[in-house]
């Protein structure tokens, strides 16, 4: 059973199109994230949700809109795609209540490689 699954794994699309990436986790975690990994492999947080509530919204164009229908799902919709949006987008989840034994480790999905032509 995949702990964090995201679809699709690959997306190739034209500039100006709209696309979505879906993410689901079956770990019972309270928190989910979207990270972007650019061509230089740098990983940067975009958004985080805790129990469906938006917590972190980094400086990301408002063409990117996350949506969390429940705490096991976090989707990312991107409008009017641009060349610079080409990257690998990782969904992740963690348990961040600070209880004994919790480390805050991120559990990652396999990534979704977006190529904008």
Partner 1 sequence: AQKITQTQPGMFVQEKEAVTLDCTYDTSDQSYGLFWYKQPSSGEMIFLIYQGSYDEQNATEGRYSLNFQKARKSANLVISASQLGDSAMYFCAMRGEFKRGGADGLTFGKGTHLIIQP
Asked if 96 interacts with partner 1 (CB under 8 A), we say yes
In angstroms, what is the minimal distance from the CB of 56 to partner 1?
6
31 binds partner 1 (CB under 8 A): yes
The answer for residues whose C-beta is within 8 angstroms of residue 55's C-beta and 6 or more apart is 31, 48, 49
Nearer to partner 1, 35 or 64 (CB): 35
Q: Work out which of 24, 25, 36, 49 binds partner 1, going by CB under 8 A.
A: 49
With contact defined as beta carbons under 8 Å apart, do 3 and 107 qualify? Answer: yes
Kindly state whether residue 25 participates in binding partner 1, applying the rule CB under 8 A.
no
Q: Tokens at residue 111, please? A: 């990534």
Number of DSSP helices (H) and strands (E) in the chain, helices first: 0, 11
CB neighbour class for 91 (10 Å; exposed up to 12, middle 13-18, buried from 19)? buried
Q: How many CB atoms lie within 10 A of CB 70?
A: 9
- Among 11, 78, 106, 116, interactor with partner 1 by CB under 8 A: 106
Binding footprint of partner 1 on the chain (CB under 8 A):
30-31, 33, 35, 40-45, 48-50, 53, 55-56, 88, 90, 92, 94, 96-98, 102-108, 110-111, 113
């Amino acid at each position: 059973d995949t702990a964090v699954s995201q679809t699709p794994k690959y997306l190739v699309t034209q500039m100006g199109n709209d696309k979505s990436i879906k993410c689901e986790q079956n770990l019972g975690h309270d928190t989910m994230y979207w990270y972007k990994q650019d061509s230089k492999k740098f990983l940067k947080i975009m958004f985080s949700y805790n129990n469906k509530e938006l917590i972190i919204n980094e400086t990301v164009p408002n063409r990117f809109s996350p949506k969390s229908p429940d705490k096991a799902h976090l989707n990312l919709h991107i409008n009017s795609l641009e060349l610079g949006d080409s990257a690998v987008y990782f969904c992740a989840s963690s348990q961040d209540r600070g209880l004994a034994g919790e480390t805050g480790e991120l559990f990652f999905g396999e990534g979704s490689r977006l190529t904008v032509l």
